Copies of this chain bind each other. A is one copy, B any other.
Amino acid sequence: MDVGFIGLGNMGAGVAGNLLKAGHKVRVWNRSPGPAVETLVRQGAERAAAPAEALAGEVVFSMLSQDDAIEEVFLASGLLDAARAGLVHVNLATVSVAFAQRMEAEHVRRGLGYVAAPVLGRPDAAAKGELNTLCAGAPQAVGKVTPLLEAFSAKVWPFGDEAHRANVAKLASNFALASMIETLGEAGALAQAYGVAPAQLYELMTNTAFAAPAYKIYAPLIASGKFSPPGFKLPLGMKDVRLALAAGEAANTPLPLASVLRDGFIAAVAAGDGDKDWAALAATAFRRAGQKLGD
């Protein structure tokens, strides 16, 4: 298929690379030039001189990390106004639910397709084509892009006809990750207060009831107390929890546990951990107790 790709950071580049490998024609555009674009071009991608060229095919993917950036590139610029009818836009980013609803409406009223396809997985999974990809939107549009999504996914998870539902599910999943980090933090601080090393507690947990990938990745990271360099920056995790809270508020759904997470993230930033991995949220549980993680 003839597809475009806007936003070639670590995640986007991996996804685009897999689309190429699957035999698709991929027109790539990134705001700032860089090695990722060069690499993709060497692999056969076509360099788009302007965002509009990335919209010349049947489908355009975007992976831009901020709602503002997406708004600027697609809406404020007039890009969508110029898109040809029938084009399907696949938004891979984790956006707010309100923004997803708005994007959906903006595409519909221009006769364009809109599919929300936020992904679970880190850059290495993107590179290997092993992401878990959530997906929602009008059935025809989803049907058209599903083979493309499969090109870079371990599995595609459908969430129905309304695009923003995939975003709700993504935020709910990220909220659960943050909740796990806080849980490990509090459980570890309680253990350490009685002379039990957090690592020892986590060893038990991750080999019994909590033997899951997320726990196996994060528990040793927390026990190590080393949160730099970050895999996923704390302010980004805080943003996802904030978006979950905002989505909850808009739908009259209180999320008291998410409120605790939000307060913890803010305390983490106040304590100077704003540049670290979001697992540093766990350190606040120790700090509140006058303990130091790793003592």
Contact = CB atoms under 8 A, between A and B. Distances in A.
Contacts of A159: 196, 200
A272 B290 CA distance: 9
Given A120-B204, A169-B200, 6 more contacts: A252-B266, A252-B290, A255-B263, A259-B260, A263-B288, A288-B288
A99 interface: no
A82 to B, nearest CB: 25
Q: How large, as a class, is the contact surface on chain A?
A: 35 or more
A172 interface: yes
Contacts of A179: 179, 182-183, 257
A140 to B, nearest CB: 19
Contact of A186 (B120, B165, B251, B258): B258
A52 interface: no
A176 B210 contact: yes
Contacts of A267: 254, 288-289
A2 interface: no
A204 B169 CA distance: 9
Interface of A: 97, 120, 132, 134, 155, 157, 159-160, 162, 164-165, 168-169, 171-173, 175-177, 179-180, 182-184, 186-191, 193-196, 200-201, 203-205, 207-215, 242, 244, 247-249, 251-260, 262-264, 266-267, 269-272, 285, 288-291
Q: Is the interface of A mostly helix, strand, loop or mixed?
A: helix
Nearest to A272: B290
Contact of A288 (B183, B215, B254): B254
A120 B175 contact: no
A190 B255 contact: yes
Nearest to A192: B253
B172 A257 contact: no
A6 to B, nearest CB: 26
B190 A175 contact: yes
Given A180-B183, A190-B172, A209-B212, A262 B259 contact: yes
Contact of A248 (B160, B184, B190): B190
A97 B212 CA distance: 28
